[in-house]
A and B are shown apart, each in its own frame.
Chain A
Amino acid sequence: MSNIALPNEASDQRGNSFKVRAQSASEDARERADDTRPQPGSSAAAVLASEASDQRGNSFKVRAPDTRPQSGSSARAMLRHARYILGENTVTGVAFALFLVIVLAALVGPYLVPYDPLASDTAAALKAPSAAHWFGTDQLGRDVFSRVVVATRLDFFIAVASVALVFLMGGLAGVAAGFFGGWTDRVVGRIADTIMAFPLFVLAMGIVAALGNTVQNVVLATAIVNFPLYARVARAEANVRREAGFVQAARLSGNGEFRILLAQILPNIMPIMVVQMSLTMGYAILNAAGLSFIGLGVRPPTAEWGIMVAEGAAFMVSGEWWIAFFPGAALMVAVFCFNLLGDGLRDIVDPQRRT
C-alpha cells in the first residue's frame, strides 16, 4: 500500500483512531503525569545515530523533494500526489470527473432541471431536441432532459445501495470463509456456487417477481446476484493473510479471532473491495435498468433510465429516436464511467503496475 491515498484508506485510518479515542475517552481523566515523563537518552539512541545514516544509505537517492508527511504541508503533498497519479492515468482522471458529474446530478439535479419531470404537456408531445427542450419531449410532452437528469438519483441510489448491501453480505461472508476456513468456507462456497449456477439476470427477475415489484427488492436482487463475486474476492484475499505475521502478532497481543478478522484483516482487503465495488456499480445500474425495462421493479411514471428506454423504444420506428436515445446514452456513460474507474483503481492498487 505504498503511498497511495485512496479515499477509503484515509477514512479507514480515521475509523481506527476513532475507535481508540472512543475507548479511551472515559479514561482520559485518570491519566497519570509520571507516564509522560521523558526518559533520559539510552545507549540505544546512541546506536540509532549510526542506523539513521545507514538507513539513508539504504534508500535510493531521491532527486524530487521528499513528500514526507508533515502536518503543515500534508494537504499540499496529498494534492501533489493525487495530481501525479491522475497524470499517470489520464483515463482514470476522465472517469473520475465523469463520476463527479454523476454524483452532482444525483444530489442537486432535481433542483436544477428546467421542467417538472412528471408534468405532461400534450401540446408539446414528441418534439425533437431544441433550445427549449434540449433532449426533446416524449409522447406525453414531458421534458426528456429533465427526466434523464432526475432519474440519475434513483439509478445511482439503487446502484450504491445494492453495492453496499452486497459488500456487507458477500464481503463479510467471504472474509470469514477465507479466514476461518473449514465449515464456514464450505457453506459460503456452496451458497456462492448455487447463485452462480443460475443465469444471473434470470435469477434477479425471479427474485423481484417473487418478492414484489419494489425498489427495495430490485436493490436486494441486484445484491444477491453479485454475492459470489464479492465472496470469492474477499475469500481469496483473506485466505492469503490468514497466517501472515501480523495476524500471529495480533494473536500474541491477545486479540480474539473475530477482532483479528474485523480489525486486522478487513482493513487490508478494503482497497481490493473498493475496486470490486466500483466495477460492480456499473453492472448494478445496468441490472436495475434492465429489470425496469422488462417491467419489473420501478414503475411508470417514475423517471428511470430503463423505463424511459422501454417507453421510447416503441417510437424509434416512427423516427422519434430521442426518447430512447438520451436515457440510453446516460446509462451507457454511467456504466462506462464506473468500469473505467474500477479499472483505474485496480491499476493504482496493483503493486505490480506501480512504478
Chain B
Amino acid sequence: MTETVPLLDVADLTVEFSTRRGIVRAVEHIDVRIAKGETVGIVGESGSGKSVTSYAVMRILDRAGRIAAGAVHFTGLDVRAASEDQMRNLRGREMSMIFQNPRAALNPIRKVGRQIEDVLEQHSQVDSSALTDKAIEILDQVRIARPRERYHAYPFELSGGMCQRVVIALALACRPQLLIADEPTTGLDVTTQKTVMDLIVELTKRRGMSTILITHDLGLAASYCDRVVVMEKGRVVETAPSREIFTAPSQPYTRKLMRATPRPGVSLRDLLPEDDFIATGSGVRGLQTCQEGVTALPMGEGVRRPCSRAAPTDPTARARANGEASKTAAPLLVVEKLVKEYPRKGLGGFAKIFQRKPTPQPETFRAVDGISFTINRGESVGLVGESGCGKSTTSTMVMRLVDKSDGVIMFDGEDIGAIAAKAFAKLPMRKRIQMVFQDPTDSLNPRFTAARAIADPILRLGDVKGRAAVRARCETLARQVGLPLELLDRFPHQLSGGQKARVGIARAIALSPDLVILDEPTAALDVSVQAVVLNLLQELKDSLGMSYLFVSHDLNVVRLLCDRVIVMQAGRIVEQGPTEEILVSPQAQYTRDLLAAIPHPTFA
C-alpha cells in the first residue's frame, strides 16, 4: 500500500440479502484495497462472500441484495452514491468482469465478433467503420487462432477454453483499469486453466491493469497473485502478500485451508485439520471398532466380510495389503479392447439431399478407442484425463449404463459387457457395481429425503425387508459415512454439499458392492470438505474391501487415493502404472503436460 489513493478502496463493506428466512448478511465489515497494477486474490470456500463482494464493487447485486454499510471508492468515485448512468459507463470501460461459466456469459445467438463490437460501441471507443477490424484485433490479442474466421463463430462452435478467451476479450476490449475474474477457470481442464491464467496475467501486466482473482483454489491464487485476501463467513480473515501467506499463514482458518489442499508429498490424513488430527489418532481405533461393528452386522446379501486387515494408514501398508489381495484372487474387472462409437451428427433429411459433396469424415466418432485395463480386488485405480478424453464414457460402460460398441468387460469372471444396459438394471449383478456421482446435488432426487434416497437400492435389490429393518440399515449406513442420524429425514436442499456427498456415498455402498466407480466425487466440493470425503472414501474401502475406479482430472487427488493410475487421451490409454511411478517419472509427454499444468505454489 505505497500509493496514497488506491485504485479500489472497499471500506467496512456490509452486504445484506433479504430472504424468506429473514435478513442474511453475506459480507460483513470487510476492507480491501487494490493498488494500480496489483493482482489480488480473494480466496475462500463457497458461501464466504467472495463473489458478493465483487458484485457489490460492480454494483450488480440482484434484487434482494443491498449494500447495508460501508463505502466502495473506485479511483475516488463513490460507487454507492454514483448514479446508474455513471455506473453503466464505469462497467466495461473502467472495470470489467470475467464470469465462471464462459458459455453462460456469451449470448448464444450472436456471433462472438459482434458481441465484442457491442461492447466497443456501447462505450464509443472506436468509430463504427473500424469496429470490425478492432474486434478482430482484440480476438488476436487473446490468442485466438484465425481471428478473422472466428469473428463469425457462434459460442457453441467454440470449445470451453476458447469461449473463456472470448469472454476475456470482451472484458478487456475497452482497456479497463480493473479486471474482476470470478473463478475464471473452474470449469476448465488443468492445461486450459494454465493457458487461460497465463493469458490473463500477461495481458493485465502489460497494460498495467489491476486484477482481482476470485477463487477457491489456494494453489491458483498463490501462483498468480501478488497479494491474497482470505475470506471466511463473509469476513476477511487474513490479508498478506501471497509469498508470506503460504510460507507463514498467521490465521488458523488459512492454515486449515492450506492443509486441506491436495499437493505433492502429503498423505490423505495430512489434509485434515491439526486439531482433528489428534482426534483421528483415536479415529484409527474408532475405525477398528467400526469394522467390528460392520462385520457384526448382517450385510445386504448375508456375506460376512472378513475384517482381517488392519486399517492401513500409510501408502506402503496399503500397497502391501493390495499386493496380497491381488495375489490371492483373479482380477475383479478385466476390460479388453473396449470401444464406444457414436454416430457423427451429420446433416439429415432435406439438407442431405441438397448437400453436394460427400462428407470426408467417417460416419462414426470413437469416444473410447480400444482400451484395456484390469482392476484387482481391493485396489483403487485412477482414470485420469481431460474433459472429452472418454473417461466418463468408459466408466458408464463399465457401470452398464451405456452399451459398448466392441470389446469385452469381464466382471468377476462374467462377461457383463454382453448384457444390454437396459436389462442389467434388474439383475442381481447390478448391486455389485455401484457408483458415486460427480454432482451430489444433481444425483439426489429433490423430492426424496436422505433416508429414502439411501433406502432406494435396498428396497429394489437388497435382502433387507420390512420398514423398520430398512430404516435400521439406513441408519447403519449413515453412521458408516458419518451422516448425523437427525439429517436422515431432511430433503437434499436442506443439506450442505458435504452432507449430500455422504448421502450419495451411503447409497452407493448400501448394497455392499465389490466395485464402486467414483466419478469425480469431490469436484463440486470445497477443499476442506473434499479432504474429509476423500478420507471417508479411503476408510470405507479399507473396512469394506471394495475396489474403486476413481475418475478424475485432478492428479493431486488421484495421487492420494489410488494405487494405480490410467492416463487417457482422446479415447486411448497413453500410460498406466503405479501412482507414484507415473507421477514422479512420467513416460508419456501428455502426462508430463498434465503434471506441469497444475499450479505449483511455493509451499514452505
Residue numbers of A with Cβ under 8 A of B are 1-3, 9, 12-13, 16-17, 20-21, 23-25, 27-32, 34-52, 54-55, 57-67, 69, 81, 84-85, 88, 244-246, 248-257, 264, 267-268, 354-355
Contact = CB atoms under 8 A, between A and B. Distances in A.
B138 to A, nearest CB: 33
A70 B444 CA distance: 23
B493 interface: yes
B426 interface: yes
B41 interface: no
6 contacts: A16-B452, A42-B287, A42-B290, A45-B482, A60-B25, A60-B26
Contact of A41 (B284, B286, B457, B470): B286
Contact of A43 (B20, B287, B507): B287
B460 A255 contact: yes
Interface in B260-279: 272-273, 275-276, 279
Contact of A47 (B496, B508, B526, B535): B535
Interface in B1-57: 17-26, 28, 45-48
Given A32-B469, A249-B507, 12 more contacts: A34-B296, A43-B290, A50-B273, A51-B482, A54-B498, A57-B47, A61-B233, A246-B448, A251-B425, A254-B431, A254-B461, A355-B20
Contacts of B445: 246, 250, 264, 267-268
Contact of A60 (B234, B280, B426, B499): B234
B510 to A, nearest CB: 8
B447 A42 contact: no
A17 B451 CA distance: 11
Interface string B471-490: 01101100111111000011
B289 A28 contact: no
A341 B280 CA distance: 55
B484 A48 contact: yes
A66 B446 CA distance: 21
A35 B472 contact: yes
B64 interface: yes
B434 interface: yes
Nearest to A255: B460
B425 A30 contact: no
A27 B466 contact: yes
A42 B528 CA distance: 19
A62 B511 CA distance: 39
A28 B507 contact: no
A49 B496 CA distance: 14
Contact of A35 (B425, B437, B473): B473
Contacts of B532: 47-48, 50-51, 54
Contacts of A355: 17-20, 63-64
A27 B469 contact: yes
A267 B445 CA distance: 9
A50 B272 contact: yes
B574 interface: no
B435 A252 contact: yes
A232 B482 CA distance: 43
Contact of B482 (A13, A29, A44): A44
B468 A1 contact: no
Nearest to B235: A61
A67 B468 contact: no
A21 B27 CA distance: 46
Nearest to A12: B447
B459 interface: yes
Interface of B: 17-26, 28, 45-48, 63-64, 232-234, 272-273, 275-276, 279-280, 282-284, 286-287, 289-290, 292-294, 296-298, 399, 401, 422, 425-426, 430-431, 433-435, 437-439, 442-449, 452-453, 455-457, 459-461, 464-470, 472-473, 475-476, 479-484, 489-491, 493-494, 496-499, 504, 507-508, 526, 528-529, 532, 535-536, 539
Contacts of A257: 422
A54 B528 contact: yes
A32 B472 CA distance: 10
Contacts of B455: 20
A33 to B, nearest CB: 10
B446 A57 contact: no
A318 to B, nearest CB: 55
A42 B472 contact: no
A267 B482 contact: no
Given A35-B298, A44-B536, A57-B232, A1 B496 contact: no
Contacts of A50: 272-273, 275-276, 528, 532
Contacts of B528: 50-51, 54
A74 B438 CA distance: 33
Nearest to B273: A50
B493 A248 contact: no
Nearest to A28: B466
A254 B425 contact: yes
Contacts of B453: 246, 249
Contacts of B442: 244-246
A312 to B, nearest CB: 47
A13 to B, nearest CB: 7
A241 B288 CA distance: 41
Nearest to B428: A254
B526 A58 contact: yes
A67 B19 CA distance: 13
A20 B438 CA distance: 28
A332 to B, nearest CB: 33
B456 A255 contact: yes
Contacts of A246: 442-446, 448, 453
Contact of A252 (B434, B475, B489, B526): B434
Given A20-B455, A34-B297, A248-B437, A46 B280 contact: yes
Contacts of A54: 45, 498, 526, 528-529, 532
A53 to B, nearest CB: 9
B493 A2 contact: yes
Given A60-B24, A249-B437, A45 B461 contact: no
Contact of A36 (B434, B437, B468, B484): B468
B47 A59 contact: yes
Nearest to B427: A254
Contacts of A59: 47, 496
A175 B294 CA distance: 42
A254 B456 CA distance: 9
Contacts of A37: 296-297
Given A40-B286, A63-B24, A13 B447 contact: yes
A46 B22 contact: no
Given A61-B234, A62-B21, A256-B426, A245 B439 contact: yes
A50 B430 CA distance: 35
Given A1-B447, A2-B493, A249-B507, A51 B466 contact: no
Contacts of B276: 46-47, 49-50
Contacts of A48: 482-484, 532
Nearest to B468: A31
Best-surrounded residue of B22, B445, B470, B499 (most CB of chain A within 10 A): B445
B484 to A, nearest CB: 7
A29 B461 CA distance: 20
Contacts of B480: 39, 42, 44
A264 B25 CA distance: 36
